[in-house]
Amino acid sequence: MTTRSAVSPGTAVSPARVEALRILCRVEEDQAFADLALEAALERAKLPPRDRALTTELVYGTLRWQRRLDWILAPHSRRRIERLDPWVRNLLRLTAYQLQLLDKVPAWAAVNEAVALAKRRAEGQAAPFINAVLRSLTRSGGELPPLPADPVEALATRLSFPSWLARRWARRFGLEEAERLMTALNERPPVTVRVNLLTCSRDILIERLSQEEEVKASPTALAPEGLVLESPGPAFRFKAFKEGWFTLQDEGSMLIGHLLAPSPGETVADVCAAPGTKTTHLAALMQNSGKVVAMDPHAGRLRLVARSAARLRVRIVQCRGGSAEILAPKFKGAFDRVLVDAPCSNLGVLRRNPDVKWRRTESALWTLSNRQQAILEAAASICRPGGTLVYATCSLEPEENEAVVFPFLEIHPEWRLDLPAKFPTPLEQPGVLRCLPHRHGTDGFTAFRLRKS
């Protein structure tokens, strides 16, 4: 490579970019979850607020637009992008994201920092190559390569989704609606919080956040206890959060608790409870009266439920370690209401977890379905006659939803879909909630409310 780097050896590199690159490599090479890797890195690095925000933006933005970035970079690299060293590939993606999709970073600064980062590694052997690719990209003036001829492949490339997922959504929703869904899932998600009605009202929290944090909050459109915060920074650091006045929760997730609609004094089970966001919501809806048994097979994650309950001043949650299948024989017919927030593909929450779309495969959906069926069978056995069960996933895929619930209803005639007495928003059909990001502005959720005769 004859192109020489114009950067000097002493060029400073932003700690945000150093951390973002490290996290992206962990996600690709170690299969780390981006949210957990980011949280750990920010805690370790002790970055100032501005660098924390930039690190978060670079990590999620690069993962969100990964396929599109590879498409943009390909004409400028003499080597195939997928054959590059992961560290080099992620540095190119990270910088291309800044050049193509962020408008606050000057092109020269992004390129210079990338080359400076490359010079720090392996005696700088990759620096000339990285410099050449990025300067070629900047010289192109934003001109994009041709898209694939196939319209679904073109859509998947342009909006950065795996081909298998774009193809199945195009079949189900049609090409135009699939594009709207994918566009919505590429948006930066709003910061939504659930007001802890055991502690305060929505209006009182709005006033407190305005005074203490200078953060503007407005009511959510669907969930009656939800707020959307404008440019809040890390809300979990707010004094009101630490004192249990609110918790972070997507508006679609809040609707799951309202679909189950527990009443004060009832006995309720949450069979996949960790980390406790929905568990504590159920307790709040019950006005801290009755009992919520939180079950989860992972002891470490179950501790998060107890910690969340303590912070939110919830007194009626009892934690029980173990899976639904193991614990069910001890609780046959014991509960008025049961929530199954089933482990799933998480393909409905790609706004918040963009790395998920690159780690899932279509064939894995049926594997998840088998596990979900077993959990639903066990959960149904602990619900009393006349009781209510809600099966929910943060997925829009039929294998994890209709293919689990409808066969269950066929072999269990004592169960039927059930319409709640009241609900904050229209349901897709009686007893079925479907939150679509491009229609409702929430994460993607599917939920079924069932009643046992």
Domain boundary among 220, 248, 276: 248
pLDDT above 70: residue 11? no
Residues taking part in catalysis: 394
Are residues 237 and 128 located together in one domain of the fold? no
Residue 6 lies in a domain: no
* Sequence letter at residue 270: D
Which has the closest alpha carbon to 173: 158, 155, 149, 188?
155
Is 33 a domain residue? yes
**Residue (of 443, 416, 411) closest to 431 by Cα position:** 416
Residues 167 and 218 in one domain: no
- Residue 8 within a domain: no
Is residue 4 scored above 50 in pLDDT? no
Q: Which domain holds residue 354?
A: 251-452
Residue 74 covered by a domain? yes
Together in a domain, 207 and 125: no
Count of structural domains within the chain:
4
Cβ atoms 282, 257 nearer than 8 A: yes
Mean pLDDT in residue range 410-428:
94
Q: Do 118 and 86 sit in the same domain of this protein? A: yes
Q: Is residue 1 part of a domain?
A: no
Average of per-residue pLDDT across 244-254: 98
Q: Angle 251-260/277-285 helices, nearest 10 degrees?
A: 50
Do 157 and 287 belong together in one domain?
no
Burial class (CB in 10 A: 0-12, 13-18, 19+), 377: middle
CATH number for position 85: 1.10.940.10
- Among residues 304, 266, 256, which one has the least CA distance to residue 446? 256
Same domain, 218 and 321: no
Whether 95 and 108 share a structural domain:
yes
> Residue 179 falls within a domain, yes or no?
yes
Which distant-in-sequence residues (6+ apart) come within 8 Å of 262 by Cβ? 268, 282, 285, 286, 290, 292, 336, 337
Is residue 25 domain-shared with residue 167, that is, in the same domain?
no
Tell which of 139, 173, 206 closes a domain.
Answer: 139
Q: In 339-401, which residue ranges form alpha helices assigned H by DSSP?
A: 356-359, 364-381
Mean pLDDT of 330-354: 97
Write out pLDDT tens, residues 88-122: 999 999 999 999 999 877 888 899 999 999 998 86
Q: What does the pLDDT look like over 126-178, one tens digit per residue?
A: 999 999 999 999 999 889 999 999 999 999 999 999 999 999 999 999 999 99
CB crowding 179-208: b at 16 or more within 10 Å, else e: bebbebbbeebebbbbbbbbbbebeebbeb
Nearest by Cα to 321 from 279, 293, 340, 288: 293
The pair of three-digit structure tokens given for residue 400, joined into one six-digit string: 């994890």
* 133/172 same-domain check: no
Last residue of a domain, one of 210, 226, 248: 248
* C-alpha span between 184 and 336 (Å, rounded): 37
Q: Are residues 243 and 121 in the same domain?
A: no
Q: What's the rounded mean pLDDT across residues 63-86?
A: 97
Report which of residues 267 and 109 the model is more confident about.
267
Q: 203 and 158 share a domain? A: no
In a domain, 7, yes or no: no
Q: State phi, psi for 232 to the nearest 5 degrees.
A: -85, -15
Residue 146 domain-assigned (yes or no): no
Does 85 share its domain with 181? no
CATH of the domain at 216: 3.30.70.1170
